[in-house]
Structure 1
Amino acid sequence: MNHPRTGDRVVELFNSIDFITKSQFREILKSGRLSRNGRPPITCIIADGIMCFTIDVAKEFQLPTILFRPFSASCFWALFCVPKLIDAAELPLKGDYNMDKLVSNVPGMEGFLRRRDLPSFCRANDLSDSKLQHVVSETHRAASGYGLILNTFEELEEFSLTHVRTKFQNVYTIGPIHASLKTKTTLQMRSSSVLEEEDSKCMAWLDDQALKSVVYVSFGNMAVLDALQLMEFWHGLVNSGKPFLLVIPGNLISGQLKVPRFHFEGTKQRGKAVNWAPQEEVLAHPAIGGFLTHSGWNSTLESICEGVPMICWPFYADQQVNSRLVGEVWKIGLDMKDTCDRVIVEKMVKELMDVRREEFVESANQMATLARKSVSRGGASYCNLNRLIEDIKSMNRVKQCFAVGIEVFDTESSTA
């Protein structure tokens, strides 16, 4: 439960899944425990995309498997193309390679994807790197499953989805999922009392700020900065002259070096730092004018849905790809990858919030409209989610017919 799930230690998680989880999963299915106490029989397995062992195990029990990938479709496709990149000598990245050179062997993305925009796993100097090998292997193994669920929508990543569908027979684009849930259900999630206290603090602070004036800053719950990096961001934000809401969870800072409190105390009127914030509510607040983000896919989609322009500082995995899409393809923000400097932070905040504000806001609003349309009744994601539900129902009917057929066959055999 407390494993950091990031950096080099993510390999430990991969190894645990391969060597421990697979056998336990097989035992659970074999025992039949999941179908006891009045629960119906299992007719389908939906698994995370890095757990492709479920495909092999499920086949032993004649069950179809649908994999869910939380990555962007573009990152998924880039990882699928890694063998082509290796064959073309575009990987590994070694020596003094020009990281801004365009990549030629990711179809659909040739015009904008640079070496520095490839998923972080691709920066391994050694092609035998365990993280790279695992994610590429799992991406290809996914093609042997029944289907693939992606948290995206057609208008957002059509250039990648077109190619993904040449390798996967059933692709369900049902995103943005958080927006789909709001469309499909009235269920409201509530935080714990501790988080609600932070919630009320930062939301009340936002209520006192001018329209579209605040920069929201959050690097998610998996990024790790050292204290010096945090201070570069802090000084850049302060020097920009813009009010900002900065989320600093307990696991954000690595090492023993602590940030002096006076840095925060001395700028309270301009900025506010909290341990946690209700991100969807914050992004929807009228005071928010920009989002300085690690470019995690959920954060990116949440920002898109609220029409909030972004400054992207990707940390790892799919985030390098996502930040490039934000800056170069969708034109809804700026890509600040591979640099952490207060001067650049200040410059980009001013560019996002002042110099190019109207341009970014217009593009972001257009994308938000497409996102909302996609999850609304009749939209592509709305229809794809219904198709996914109906396909799972049909699996249930087939399984029931199969079970009845076996029972009839056994009865006839015993009679004979």
Structure 2
Amino acid sequence: MERQRKGVSVVLIPSPLQGHIAPILGLADILYSNGFSIIIGHTLFNSPNPSAYPHFSFLPFSDQLTESEASTSDPLHLTNLINIRCALPLTRSLSQLLSDPSLDPIVCFISDAALHFTRSVCDSLRLPRLVLRTGGASSFLVFSLFPLLRQRGYLPIQECRGEEAVVELPPLKVKDLPRMESKDPEALYEFACRMSDELKSSSGVIWNTFEELEISALERLRHELGIPSYPIGPFHKHPTLASHSSSALRSPDESCIPWLDTREPNSVLYVSLGSIAAVSEREVVEMAWGLANSRQPFLWVLRPRSESEWLQPLPEGFMESVGGRGHVVRWAPQTQVLSHPAVGAFWTHNGWNSTLESICEGVPMICMPCFADQKVNAKYVSDVWKVGVQLPGEVERGEVEKAIARIMVEDEGKFTRERALELKHKASLCLQQHGSSRRSLDALISHILSYNNRQTHPVAGEEAK
């Protein structure tokens, strides 16, 4: 039976990027299933589909983006624009919401950590603000130490020092530190510092991770941030009462599931490099022939550059050479794919959602990180959790073939699969009644409810003082 409704609302706002939308909607489902009314605030750009979430209310606000700005391939620049332009539109929308007597009272605001502008909005309305970090704790620790890393000379990154150890953050090397292509070379540094500073000013931080996976980073961050910390992940594995609607911005090709049904257990390599990472035509060709030469069955998500150019980057004769051993789709229902018994490994860009989903299903990884936190995640996958291998350097068909053999055929792959299954078990235990994530969720619920009946924001129509 559904838990008793608590008579209070929580507003949640995601950053409008695929890797950020999914976890905040997952958190919203978790809170809804624990009795809270849910309001999803969102920009007009990449807005979620309200019909997929009939149990939520939605609060759109203007992002003031032009068409060219919204189509940028620079996610950091896009996020900075949203932080600059959205404070006033969100304040106006929230003010109207707070004055609506038909709604359950709003007791708390939960913001994506990337949207640091929400601090000023919540301060002006005297609304308690929690922050969701959609990435891992280990990568956020790196971001939080950017000033120290610059002071010690690791930043800006120098390619000639790539193999040098970062002694303050073992086991990372300089080449594993986050980087991102942007119009402004200082943009990532400034963004990371601002994100960390604004998070420290919040009432608490929610993590889509679990203690047993990232205990060292979580303990260090608790000390450095000085605010309540709630690791309640993995979100997508929580038993929720709400419908599990897809938050994907693309429609998945369901044909891959019956194709997987025809394959042997642990025989298929699933290949997907996420929703943003750009892969050059040369890399696609090298990936293709590496897959072909491996002789392993594969399911490959190949995102189209345009509707007319979907399969054009594939080399001539590739599809004929692999025959029925390979299946190529534009987008896949990833959690279904990773949980399928035919899938034996995952070639991934190591975005946090993908990394965590693979861990939860006990699927070993071939790591090909592209930017930002992905490099940190990949290093932890290969060297700390030991549930994957990294592709070295540039994508080259011979190295691709070797990596596939290591993870799918050789003894190293058997060890890696055993480690992955151990972590899968821990991810399951943490969500059980007395598990670490369940205890953290209970503490988070108590924290949110502690705001109830307080005068945390001004009477509707008044200016915050």
Same fold (TM over 0.5): yes
Q: What pairs with 1:10-409 in structure 2 (closer than 5 Å)? A: 10-30=75-95, 32-36=96-100, 38-94=102-158, 96-105=159-168, 109-110=169-170, 112-121=171-180, 129-166=186-223, 167-180=225-238, 183-185=239-241, 187-189=243-245, 195=251, 198-199=253-254, 201-251=255-305, 258-260=313-315, 262-336=317-391, 338-355=393-410, 356-399=412-455
Cα distance change of structure 1 residues 337 and 313 upon mapping to structure 2, 3 Å threshold = farther
SS for the counterpart of 1:375 is coil
Check whether the contact 1:67–1:148 (CA below 8 A) recurs between aligned residues.
yes
Cα distance change of structure 1 residues 217 and 392 upon mapping to structure 2, 3 Å threshold = same
Q: Which is worse superposed, 288-297 or 42-51? A: 42-51
Structure 2 CA distance for aligned equivalents of residues 286 and 255 of structure 1:
28
Structure 2 CA distance for aligned equivalents of residues 386 and 337 of structure 1:
43
Give the root-mean-square deviation of aligned CA atoms. Answer: 2.9
Cα distance change of structure 1 residues 52 and 245 upon mapping to structure 2, 3 Å threshold = same
Letter in 1 for 2:85: I
Structure 2 CA distance for aligned equivalents of residues 191 and 18 of structure 1:
23
Structure 1 CA distance for aligned equivalents of residues 291 and 366 of structure 2:
12
Letter in 2 for 1:324: K
Check whether the contact 1:148–1:171 (CA below 8 A) recurs between aligned residues.
yes
Check whether the contact 1:221–1:252 (CA below 8 A) recurs between aligned residues.
no
Normalising by structure 1, what TM-score?
A: 0.86
Deviation (angstroms), 1:134: 1.5
Structure 2 CA distance for aligned equivalents of residues 368 and 256 of structure 1:
35
Letter in 2 for 1:117: D
SS for the counterpart of 1:223 is coil
Structure 1, unpaired ranges of 5+: 404-416
Structure 2, unpaired ranges of 5+: 1-44, 47-67, 460-465
Identity %: 34
Check whether the contact 1:320–1:337 (CA below 8 A) recurs between aligned residues.
no
More helix by share: 1
Letter in 1 for 2:429: K
Corresponding residue pairs, total: 391
Match of 2:38 in 1: none
Deviation (angstroms), 1:268: 2.4
Structure 2 CA distance for aligned equivalents of residues 308 and 5 of structure 1:
35
SS for the counterpart of 2:88 is helix
Deviation (angstroms), 1:311: 0.3
Letter in 2 for 1:165: R
Check whether the contact 1:6–1:222 (CA below 8 A) recurs between aligned residues.
no
Check whether the contact 2:364–2:387 (CA below 8 A) recurs between aligned residues.
yes
Normalising by structure 2, what TM-score?
A: 0.78
Deviation (angstroms), 1:119: 1.3
Deviation (angstroms), 1:209: 0.7
Deviation (angstroms), 1:402: 9.7
Letter in 2 for 1:138: M
Deviation (angstroms), 1:18: 2.6
Structure 1 CA distance for aligned equivalents of residues 297 and 367 of structure 2:
18
Structure 2 CA distance for aligned equivalents of residues 224 and 195 of structure 1:
19
Structure 1 CA distance for aligned equivalents of residues 272 and 328 of structure 2:
10
